[in-house]
Amino acid sequence: MGMSIFYGQPDDESSIATIHRALDMGINMIVTSDAYGNGANETLIGKALVGRRNQALVCTKFGNLALAGGGDTGFTGGDPRHVVIACDRSLKRLGVDVIDLYALHRVDVTIPIEETVGAMKRLVEQGKVRHLGLSEAGPETIRRAYAVHPLASLETEYSLWSRDIEGDIMATCRELGMAIMAYSPLGRGFLTGTIKTLDTLGEKDGRRNMPRFKPENIGQNATLIGLMEAMAQAKGITTAQLALAWVHAQGPDLFPIPGTKRVKYLEQNAAAVDVPLSAQDVQTLNQLFPKNVASGTRYPEPAMKSLGI
């Protein structure tokens, strides 16, 4: 997402170089959405995958019309008719014959989930899609969707300062054998320790509109990072690597999907998989970052209503 929208000015050349380096390192899952720049990010990934399609698991999403700036199909995001159009457009932009993982980006409350997933199931039957997933769905929706067609994954925000899914959502995924793809595992960059004041962010950085980065919250949240930095320094690793290692330590079914536009940070993030954390380390981090410790919600209030449905 950050390669095309939200985190400052896009740099396609640097982004493509980062994708290529990831593939060279054996990182093979690339996650996008048709909502990221209203298709621009899928197009970017399509360019990066020319001649390298067989090295990548391509995951994209549909149905988040609010983030996409509306929508022009005449249907809501989960309408079966929209599903068909959205998939065909994504295939074309990505330049692929089949999408490895196709997920509903946000649950559409106006359409029964059975109808949306039914349309997605037909895409699998037609050979356009290999596996299905959901994003930011609640336990009941996950179960109802899974009854129509097995789901490979749930993509959801999960990190030291966003532990909302611990409980029913995580338990449901594990009961059904679904992987959890943890987006923003670095707290939208906050857990890297590099963002402690609003001045750190550029004027066009979308995080300026996020509650946790607002002036009334960012200072309080920054105090959490100081304790974490000391622990990382003692281990000879970066704060970001410590945050990612904590996600990895939660189980083999959790896959952090940190975003970056730069090779340097890609390589640092990848190295976190080899960071050993003891049970005591994990307990210490759990105590430093209990549930709901962050000051401010993870999205503005209107967007919060679309989560966990």
Active centre residues (catalytic): 36
d(CA 33, CA 43): 11
Q: Which two tokens stand for residue 13?
A: 């050349």
d(CA 117, CA 136): 15
Total number of residues shown for the chain? 309
Q: Degrees (nearest 5) of the Cα angle 70, 76, 77?
A: 80
CB 182 within 8 A of CB 169: no
144 φ, ψ to 5°?
A: -65, -40
Which spans in 49-107 are helix H?
65-68, 80-94
User: What is each CA distance from 203 to 14, 59, 194, in whole angstroms?
Assistant: 21, 30, 17
Residue appearing with tokens 């960059």: 189
270-291 residues labelled b (16+ CB within 10 A) or e (exposed): bebeebebeeebeeebeeebee
| 228: CB partners within 8 A, 6+ apart | 160, 191, 193, 239, 242, 243, 285, 288, 289
